[in-house]
Structure formats: structure tokens, C-alpha cells
A and B are shown apart, each in its own frame.
Chain A
Amino acid sequence: MDNEFNIQEQTSLSLSTRLALFWRHGDQLFKAIIIIAAALIIVLGTAIGYELWINSELSRKAFGLSFLFSTRWDPAIDRMFGAFPFIQGTLVTSFIALLFAVPIGLGVAIFLAELAPTWLSRPLGLLVELLAAVPSVVYGFWGLFAFIPFLVRPLSESLNQHLGFLPIFQGPVFGPSRLAAGLILAIMILPTISAVSRDVFRAIPVTQREASLALGATRWETISQVLVPYGLSGLLGAVILGLGRALGETIAVTMVIGNNLDISSSVLHPGYTMASIIANEFTEATYDLYLHALIEVALILFIVTLGMNMIARLLVWRVSGKTKHEARA
């Protein structure tokens, strides 16, 4: 720290000289500012967890672990809260979403990363990523007015007709349903899965493909027997990232799932997810326990999505680690 000028001299300096000094000594200030900014992020991250924790206290203390398993969500009469219907709904819709988004997402990633020529893969890749840019509320709106009437409903009715003996396809068939929510979620998480998977494929060195093809393997054999095993942890990470997003998706789901406390096993029935119960009932929470119960649901959501994201990033990391290890050998 320069202290070339004593105070008396400083006060007699011209403005330009003073600015020049500031310019030179500004480094300390700059470093301090950016550290503060970075620290603010840490503060925010912890604050979220903290607020959720303390504002769900009443509910946590009242119900403990049974909150996760109880199916009684009764704010009006008994004032008992159990989140199981929402947990079940979230799991079912996310599962349906993964069922469709994973194969299609991987197919897209393989097509764009390995098969399509550049002039095709770039615009197509952009289109798939634009899917991610559509606001959730627009998905819900379109889902209600176009997707359900023209696709999901006929599909549900036909599933019910032909496979209705299976408990998951039992009727009656309304419009909104868990299937509808699951399918819309699939569309929403597809870009995540495909974009991350594409990056995983791009991280695999070209030499691996060359080695396989030079042995007389076909393109598909190279992809399925060399590339996918190589990048498996990354691909798994992509799926988990997609799952993380599906778990937290609110508005689109609320608009098409029917918001019903139904816990039957039929996917053709309406249901509820953790995110949508919060959206629906939050402004009606008239007393503290109710509020805390809803916040506890938010807390569960926070912890689960946090865990998924951490695992996913770890897995995706491992593929690039593998490549570096190979280069060193």
C-alpha cells in the first residue's frame, strides 16, 4: 500500500491527480468488491435453505417423518397434513416424463452429435434448445387447449379401452391427468437431457471412434459399444439433471394435472405434485400450520432437487476426467 503522500499534500492535490491515484489504488477496492459479490451468492444459497427450514418448523415438529408417508391432507377440518399424495404424484409424473424423454433425448443427442452433418445439426440443435426457452405457463396453456384434447385424451381413451384391465390405465378418463402432466414434462426436460448428452458425446475423443471404425464396426456399433459405455456416467448425469427439472416444474403441471388428491395408481386420473399443491393452496393458507406445512413441502422439493443436481454434476464431470486421464497415458 503506497503511502507516498502525507495528508497535507493530499488535500492540495488537483482533481486529476487524485483520480489518477484512485485509479492506481483502485485495485484493492476492486478486489474487495468482487469478493463481496461472490460472497453474496454464498449468502443467498444458504439463506434459501435457512428460510425454508425455519419457516416450516411448526409442521416439522408437529408431524415429523410421518409427513412423508401420511396421505391425509386436510387443512379445513382436521388440520392434518401429509405429503404423500404429492410425493406420489411427483414421482409418477417424473417417471412418465423420463420414460419418454430419455430415449428420445438420447436419440436426438446421438443424431446431432454423431450422425448429422454440421449444416443440419446446428439449426436442429437450436430448435431443440428453443423448446427449453418456452415459458412453463405457455406449455400449460397449450397443454390444456391443444395437447390434451388432440393427443392425450384420445390416447388415454384408447389406452383405457384396450388396456383398461391394467390398474394404471383404469378410467374414468377426464381431460387433465397425470399422464398429460408426465408427457408435457417429457417435452420440457427433453432439451436438457439432449443438450447435456450432446456435450458428453463431444467430450469423447475422436480417436475412440477411429479405433472402433477401423476394426470394421458400423456406426451404430461404435456408438452403442464404445461411446455410450465411455460416456455412461455423463449420460446418467444428463438424465438426473432432467429429472431434477421435472421434479420442480410447477405451472405447466398445475394446469394439466387436475389438482386432485387422488392417489390411485391410474395415470389416466388427475393427481397432484409437490410443486402444484404449493402453487394452488399457498395463497389460501390462512393459518400458520397450514403455511408451514406448505413450506415444508417446498423444503423437501429443495433438498431433493439439490441432491439430484449435485449427483448429476459429479457424474458429468467424470467423463471429462476420463478423457484427461487417457491423454496422459
Chain B
Amino acid sequence: MNRVMINPKVHSLHNYRRKTTNMIMLVLAGVSTVIAIVPLVWILFYVIIKGAAALSWDFFTKLPTPAGVPGGGLANAVVGSVITVGIGVIIAAPVGVLAAFYLLSSQTKPFGQVVRFATDVIAGVPSIVMGIFAYTLIVLPQGHFSALAGGIVLAFIMLPIIVRTTEEMLKLVPNSLREGSLALGATEWRSSFSIILPAAFNGVLTGLMLAIARGAGEAAPMLFTAFGNPFMSVSLNEPIATLPQTIFVYAISPYKDWQAKAWATALVLIVLVFSLNILSRVIIWWRARQLGSGNR
């Protein structure tokens, strides 16, 4: 039969072309990675340079001065962020962790699938839509903006993150641990709380950290819930300022000193968010390694 031969002479030129294409593509892949990192580096540098110039201890201790008057700080926004995120965590953490326990024990049950689906739905809701939801649910009936509403909307946003991360971390705990505890006669919930949860504690912590990093940075939902407040407030029923919302208002304002403060705020926010992110990833990586080698 007349077979087509792969002719070494002909295809060595073709091979050269193939190798060149290969090299070009691999280089392009590397170049895209560089391009991807450039904005990160740029943002970091810019925020650090502009923010450090305007940052001082006053930032955390003093209240805002009127526009155009230099000095002052954003102590109210710092406190506001702590309060709103705190409320969010207090609400979302127990519900999220408990729900994660449920998901862990119901991998195939239909109700579990529905819960999983609902978690995905909530995770995918744009934060501004979440803000609208909280507005119709809380602000409208109450008739005023409030720190509580801000905390609640953050709880909604944080919830899916906590559920997902906790579940992932609980799954990492070797089954043998749970079975061993049950075999000793401990009840399900005791096993869960005294054995599994501590084993997964780091993981749960990282879930909380990632959720806090997300919640602390949200500005859009705050516009319709906490709304903002130029004065210091710790009341749950009053509107309250938060760091991201302050950046938003100050950044688009025409006042140079407000813009400077916004840079300082941005720096504080980025440092907070990045630290939480990096720390939690380190913990996850370290934990997975620990448990992985323990499983051998």
C-alpha cells in the first residue's frame, strides 16, 4: 500500500516552525502574567506613596474637620467599620459555621443540594443589589439609615464566604478523627464541637478573615444602609461612617484635603485587606500540608 511517509528532510523545517511557535506562545503566556501583575504593583505603590504622606496617628484618633480645613482624622469611620463588620461577623459566623456543618453531613441529600445552590445564589448577588435588598428589608420599615442595617447587609455578603471556606476546611479534617470520636461513644454534636471544630479551627478562622477582608472593603451597600456620618457614633440606630464609603465620598469631592484623607484611608484599607488575605492563605497552605502529611 502506498503510504505517506513523514519525510525527515521536509519536516525538519516544519519542526523549526513548530518550535518557534512554541517559544513565542510560551513567552506570551509569561508576558501576560507580567501584565497581570503590573496593575497590582502600580496600585500598591500609588496608594502607599499617596497614603503614607497623609497618614498619621490623628487618622485613628481625631474626627473629620470641615471640608477645606486641614487636620483632623477619620476616627468615626474607623469605629464605624469596626462596628459594622463586627455586627456582620456576629450574625454571619454562627449561621455560616453551623450551615457548613450541615453541608458536611449531607453531601448527597437533596436538601443539601438546595442549600448549596442557595449559597451560590447569595454569593453571586452584586453587592449593590444586596444593599438594595437590605434597604427594602430594614431601612424602609425603620424609616432611617442605621449602623445595624449596615452590619446586617455585611452579614449577608459575608455569609457565603464563611459557609464555603468552613466547609472546605471541615472536609480537610480526616474522617478517621470523627469516626474515632464517635466510636468512643461521643455524640455527634460533641464530636463536631470538641474534636472536629478545633481541628478545623484554623480553617474556620481563615474563612472569617477572608469574609472580614471582603466586608471591610464594601462601599456600595453602605450607601443605602449605614449611609455615613461626619460625627462619631456608636449607636446601632444611627447612620454611621465606614472606611470605604468615606473613600468614595472624599475621593470624588473637589477638596484636596479630603482627597488626601481618602488616600490615607485607602492605604489603611489595603493594608488591612491584604494582611488578612495573605495571612489566611498562609494558614490554609500550612494546614493542608500538615493534614496531608498526617494522612500518610
Picked from A27, A129, A278, the residue with its CB within 8 Å of the CB of B188 is A27
Q: Say whether, besides A104-B32, A130-B274, A135-B217, A30 and B189 are in contact (CB < 8 Å).
A: yes
Q: Say whether, besides A27-B189, A220-B21, A137 and B136 are in contact (CB < 8 Å).
A: no
- Please tell me the size bucket of the interface on B: 35 or more
The answer to whether B232 has its CB under 8 Å from any CB of chain A is no
Are A282 and B266 neighbours in the complex by a CB distance under 8 Å? no
Picked from A44, A126, A298, the residue with its CB within 8 Å of the CB of B122 is A44
> What distance in Å separates the Cβ of A89 from its nearest Cβ neighbour in chain B?
15
Are A34 and B98 neighbours in the complex by a CB distance under 8 Å? yes
Q: Which residues from 29 to 51 on chain A have a C-beta closer than 8 Å to any C-beta of chain B? A: 29-31, 33-42, 44-48, 51
- Contact string against A for B residues 81-120, beta-carbon threshold 8 Å, 1 for contact and 0 otherwise: 0000000000000111011011101000001101101111
Are B220 and A279 neighbours in the complex by a CB distance under 8 Å? yes
The answer to whether A13 has its CB under 8 Å from any CB of chain B is no
- Contact string against B for A residues 181-213, beta-carbon threshold 8 Å, 1 for contact and 0 otherwise: 000000100100010000000000000000000
The answer to whether A94 has its CB under 8 Å from any CB of chain B is no
Question: Which residues on A sit within 8 Å (CB–CB) of B187?
Answer: 23-24, 26-27, 30
The answer to whether A91 has its CB under 8 Å from any CB of chain B is no
Q: Interface stretch among B68-76, B198-206, B243-251?
A: B243-251
Question: Which residues on B sit within 8 Å (CB–CB) of A46?
Answer: 118
Q: Say whether, besides A35-B102, A38-B103, A108 and B33 are in contact (CB < 8 Å).
A: yes
Are A37 and B99 neighbours in the complex by a CB distance under 8 Å? yes
> What distance in Å separates the Cβ of B93 from its nearest Cβ neighbour in chain A?
11
Are A295 and B136 neighbours in the complex by a CB distance under 8 Å? yes
Q: Say whether, besides A45-B122, A107-B32, A219-B22, A51 and B136 are in contact (CB < 8 Å).
A: yes
The answer to whether A255 has its CB under 8 Å from any CB of chain B is yes
Q: In whole angstroms, how far apart are the Cα atoms of A30 and B274 in the complex?
A: 36
Q: In whole angstroms, how far apart are the Cα atoms of A61 and B37 in the complex?
A: 48
Q: In whole angstroms, how far apart are the Cα atoms of A145 and B260 in the complex?
A: 12
Q: Interface stretch among B54-62, B124-132, B171-179?
A: B124-132
Are B251 and A104 neighbours in the complex by a CB distance under 8 Å? no
The answer to whether A301 has its CB under 8 Å from any CB of chain B is yes
Picked from B99, B192, B247, B266, the residue with its CB within 8 Å of the CB of A40 is B99
Are B278 and A126 neighbours in the complex by a CB distance under 8 Å? yes
Are A305 and B124 neighbours in the complex by a CB distance under 8 Å? yes
> What distance in Å separates the Cβ of A293 from its nearest Cβ neighbour in chain B?
12
Q: Which residues from 75 to 128 on chain A have a C-beta closer than 8 Å to any C-beta of chain B? A: 103-108, 110-112, 115-116, 124, 126-128
The answer to whether B36 has its CB under 8 Å from any CB of chain A is yes
The answer to whether A159 has its CB under 8 Å from any CB of chain B is no
Question: Which residues on B sit within 8 Å (CB–CB) of A52?
Answer: 129, 132-133, 136
Question: Which residues on B sit within 8 Å (CB–CB) of A250?
Answer: 126-128, 220
The answer to whether A218 has its CB under 8 Å from any CB of chain B is yes
Picked from A51, A137, A194, the residue with its CB within 8 Å of the CB of B137 is A51
Are A41 and B119 neighbours in the complex by a CB distance under 8 Å? yes
Are A130 and B127 neighbours in the complex by a CB distance under 8 Å? no
Q: Which residues from 130 to 144 on chain B have a C-beta closer than 8 Å to any C-beta of chain A? A: 130, 132-133, 135-137
Q: Say whether, besides A27-B187, A111-B29, A135-B219, A309 and B120 are in contact (CB < 8 Å).
A: yes
Q: Say whether, besides A110-B29, A137-B244, A298-B129, A255 and B269 are in contact (CB < 8 Å).
A: no
Q: In whole angstroms, how far apart are the Cα atoms of A86 and B21 in the complex?
A: 42
Q: Which residues from 219 to 260 on chain B have a C-beta closer than 8 Å to any C-beta of chain A? A: 219-220, 223-224, 227, 244-245, 247-248, 251-252, 259
Picked from A44, A110, A298, the residue with its CB within 8 Å of the CB of B156 is A44
The answer to whether A221 has its CB under 8 Å from any CB of chain B is yes
- Please tell me the size bucket of the interface on A: 35 or more
Question: Which residues on B sit within 8 Å (CB–CB) of A72?
Answer: none
Are A33 and B118 neighbours in the complex by a CB distance under 8 Å? no
Q: Say whether, besides A37-B98, A220-B22, A107 and B28 are in contact (CB < 8 Å).
A: yes
The answer to whether B25 has its CB under 8 Å from any CB of chain A is yes
The answer to whether B184 has its CB under 8 Å from any CB of chain A is no
Chain B residues engaging chain A, CB cutoff 8 angstroms: 18-19, 21-22, 25-26, 28-33, 35-37, 39-40, 42-43, 46-47, 50, 94-96, 98-99, 101-103, 105, 111-112, 114-115, 117-130, 132-133, 135-137, 156, 159, 163, 187-190, 192, 213, 216-220, 223-224, 227, 244-245, 247-248, 251-252, 259, 262-263, 266, 269-270, 273-274, 277-278, 281
Chain A residues engaging chain B, CB cutoff 8 angstroms: 23-24, 26-27, 29-31, 33-42, 44-48, 51-52, 55, 103-108, 110-112, 115-116, 124, 126-131, 133-142, 144-147, 187, 190, 194, 218-221, 223-224, 244, 247-251, 255, 275, 278-279, 282-283, 294-295, 298, 301-302, 305-306, 308-310, 313
The 8 A-B residue pairs whose C-beta atoms are closest, nearest first, are: A248-B126, A135-B217, A107-B32, A30-B189, A37-B98, A45-B118, A309-B124, A218-B22
29 contacts between A and B (CB under 8 A): A29-B189, A30-B189, A37-B96, A38-B99, A44-B156, A48-B122, A48-B129, A52-B133, A106-B32, A107-B28, A107-B33, A108-B33, A134-B217, A135-B270, A137-B245, A138-B269, A140-B251, A147-B39, A187-B39, A220-B21, A221-B18, A221-B22, A248-B128, A275-B126, A298-B129, A301-B126, A305-B129, A306-B125, A310-B120
